Every structure is written in C-alpha cells, then in structure tokens.
Amino acid sequence: MHNNLIPTYDNDKFIKELKQSLKKREKANTFTPDVTIVNTIVDDLCKNQPLKVTAKKISSNDSEKIILDVIATFGTWLTHSEGKLNNSSNSEEDFQILPQGYEPNSNHKRDITKALLRIRNAKPSSETISRFVARTYKTRSANLDHSLMAGVWGFAKRGRLSLIENVSDDPVFLSQVCEAYDLIVDTIKNAEKSLKFIVNAANSSSIDLAKLGDHVQVCKWLSEYEMDELNSYIDLAKINAFNLKPLREHLKKFAKRVSSWPEIFYITNIGNLTAGQIKRICELNGIEVESTASKRAFELQIRQNLKSLGLSNDQDILLPDALRAAEAGKLDEFWLILQARVDGDSTWSDQLEELKI
C-alpha cells in the first residue's frame, strides 16, 4: 500500500451498525407471526377488544409484545403500500378511543396509536393481510445481482449509503446491501495484495510466471488494458522461459506507473470506483452482468403472467421466486399456488415456502 494512501472505507461504520441491527431484528423475530395470528389481531382491533384478551389467543410468553410489534409494523406497511388515510373521514373521538391496554401510558409505554388507527380504519382484507405477512415475515432467499451491486456503489458514490434504508427496510434487501458492500471491499483488498506481489516481482531474482498470472487476473478489474498488456508479456515469457528480460522491463515500467499514479490503483473508497469497474468486479465474482436474450424473454413472460394475475405490485419478490422455481423444475407448482392466492387462499405464502425454492 502506498504510504500516502490509507484505506478509509467511510461506510464501514454504517455497514457494521446495519449488520448489528439486522442481528437484533432476527433475534427479536424468533416467533414469526402467520396469517392466522395477524387476522386475529386485526379482527380484535376492529372489535375494540382489550390487549390482554387478544394476547390470550397467541401461544407465546411474549404475546403482548408480539401484538404491539405486528401492529406497529403493519400500520407502517399499510401507509407505505397504500398511502395515508384522509383524516377528515375520522372523527376526533376515533383518535381518542383506543382498545384497553393499547394506551401509550400503559405498562409497555409504547405509542402505536397512528399504526393502530391506520389498521382499524383501513379494515384490511384477508388478501392484504396475507400479502403483508408474505412480504414481512416469510423467509426468502436472494442472490446478489449486478443491479444491486451497482445500486450500493451508486449510493456510496453520492455519499448517501447511510440512507439506503429509505429504499426499503426489508431485512432480505438490507442483508443483500451488506453482502454487496463486503464483496466490493473484499475484492478491493484482494487486488491490493495482488498488486503488491506484481510490483515486487519487478525486482525479484526469480519470477513464478503462473503465480504472477494469477495475481494479474485478480487485478484485472482495476485496469483491463494494463493487465491484458502484462498478460501478453507473461505469455511471451512462457514461450521462451530463458528470456525474461522483456517481462522484467515491463514490470519495472508498470511499478513506476503505480508509484506515480497510486490513486488509480489503490482504491480508498468504493465511491471512487467506476461503473465499468463495478461491472468487472461482478464478472470476477461470477455475478451475471447482462442477461441473455432468452433469459430476458423468459423474465418478460413471467412479468406478463404476474400482471395478468393482478400481482404486479409484488413482482419484486415473485419474479425471483419464479426464476428459482424454474431452476428447481417447480414452475408449474409455483403458478398453481399464485392462482390459489388470486382465488382467495390466504395460505399461499406458506405453500410457496413449502416449495423450498
């Protein structure tokens, strides 16, 4: 590492705190509410049932906390997904009367008034409830893709990575953000080590051509042209192992360039990367950058199917699910489950999870 350039990954603190927050959320969510539980909570709210009455219907030592958490989360979700209700449709009395036990001055000391009233006044349908549960509480797997890697880089480039939670507070998405950030930083650090090896090779008494080639490959995303040029000299040396002079001379020239322009080769902040480098980092780590024509056509067909079923609003989670179902040879079962959802089956999210895709 060049003495004047010490890495300052200024987003490290935010990512570390985000990981800790996700761990706390995961620990707190050891009990996962299902459609039946949320339906019970909503039904009791609409009937103005006391908190303790609803708590007795939930088999958990933490039933009151679970109810309060569900209401706070569901109320916020309804506001984000369906917008705010017009307060003019509610009388002043509506905002003063809360079911017994939900008052902010109760033992729990939590003020979930707005969320509670949002739910009670919206009277959410079973379909809305099942959609909320599927998007909030169901385990989902997700792979990194180029768009997410580029998104994390774009936020960092603008100095706004700490605001990425405004895009979505979905734990799966935020976990992907952390994974993408770590992958970018790890790739940078690996390149630093390989760059050091390449520079040191310029003055080495012996050169391991195979090892040098491996290190050049690790650094290729930094500057494709220069690494390809280095590779050509390595290939030339392999043809005539007794003549390493051209390679040594080029290595010295390269080492001088690195010393003169360290900011090009030593990345101190992921925001300093270019779009091309992000693309090459993805390729280096086996992340597809450009979909094939056939895959794009297949994805378009899935989007059209979701639209015809009236499920376009959930395509952000259903499209990846469909692609995984296709890979697992379970696409027919996937569409049957979604048809069941359209027909009013509130257990559709449980059925999707049972597909194990």
> Taking a C-beta distance cutoff of 8 angstroms, is the pair 264, 227 a contact?
no
Q: Which of 2-11, 56-65, 309-318 has the lowest mean pLDDT?
A: 2-11
159: left (phi over 0), alpha (psi -120 to 50) or beta: left
The per-residue pLDDT for 222 is 93
Residue 86 — pLDDT band, cuts 50, 70, 90?
Answer: low
Q: Which residues contact 83 (CB under 8 A, 6 or more apart)?
A: none
Q: Give the residue with greater pLDDT, 287 vs 90.
A: 287
pLDDT of residue 288: 81
> Residue range 51-61: average pLDDT?
87
For the chain, what percent of residues have pLDDT higher than 90? 45
Quick check: 94 pLDDT over 70? no
What would the two tokens of residue 297 be? 């056509």
Residue 137 or 114, more confident: 114
Three-state secondary structure call for residue 3: coil
**141-162: string of b/e by CB count within 10 Å (b at 16+)?**
ebebbbebbbbbbebbbeeebb
pLDDT band at 10 (very low <50, low <70, confident <90, very high): low
Give me the chain's average pLDDT, please: 86
116: its two tokens: 């509670």
Which among 347, 193, 121, 161 is positioned nearest to 269, based on CA atoms?
161
Stretch 175-195: mean pLDDT, rounded?
A: 94
Taking only the tens place, the pLDDT of each residue in 226-262 is: 999 999 999 998 888 667 889 999 999 999 999 998 8
Model pLDDT, residue 84: 65
What average pLDDT does this structure show over 286-300?
A: 82
Q: 89 pLDDT band (50/70/90 cuts)?
A: very low
Q: Which sequence spans correspond to the domains of the chain?
A: 30-136, 146-284, 293-354
Crossing angle, helix 245-260 and helix 224-239, to 10 degrees?
A: 160
